[in-house]
């Protein structure tokens, strides 16, 4: 990741990126559907940030976002 992109990401998200939603009692099916939507939304955000499809390790938080696309001004 380039130095400029790294600084921009750290400036915008100093505490990292967290995905959360309110916990409400839900059936197993509702929980599974909600979790599926959350995973897809999070993957979409990472795709937008990095300019590519995130790996499974990046989605699980085991690996940092490898290469962010740099905007050319």
Torsion sign across C-alpha atoms 4, 41, 39, 53: negative
Residue 43 within any structural domain of the chain: yes
Q: Whole-model pTM?
A: 0.51
- Rounded Cα gap, residues 60 and 73, in angstroms: 32
- How far from the centroid of its chain's Cα atoms is residue 17's Cα? 7
Residue 35 within any structural domain of the chain: yes
Domain assignment of residue 54, given as a range: 28-67
Burial class (CB in 10 A: 0-12, 13-18, 19+), 61: exposed
HSE, side-chain direction, 13 A CA sphere, residue 37: 8
Q: Convert the pLDDT of each residue in 19-66 to its tens digit.
A: 776 676 778 888 888 888 888 888 888 788 778 888 888 877 787 776
Residue 3 within any structural domain of the chain: no
């Amino acid at each position: 990741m380039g130095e400029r992109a790294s600084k921009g990401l750290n400036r915008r998200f100093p505490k990292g990126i967290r995905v959360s939603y309110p916990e409400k009692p839900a059936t197993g099916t509702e929980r599974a559907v909600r979790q599926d939507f959350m995973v897809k939304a999070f993957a979409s955000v990472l795709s937008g940030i990095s300019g590519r499809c995130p790996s499974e390790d990046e989605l699980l938080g085991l690996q940092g976002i490898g290469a962010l696309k740099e905007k050319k001004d």
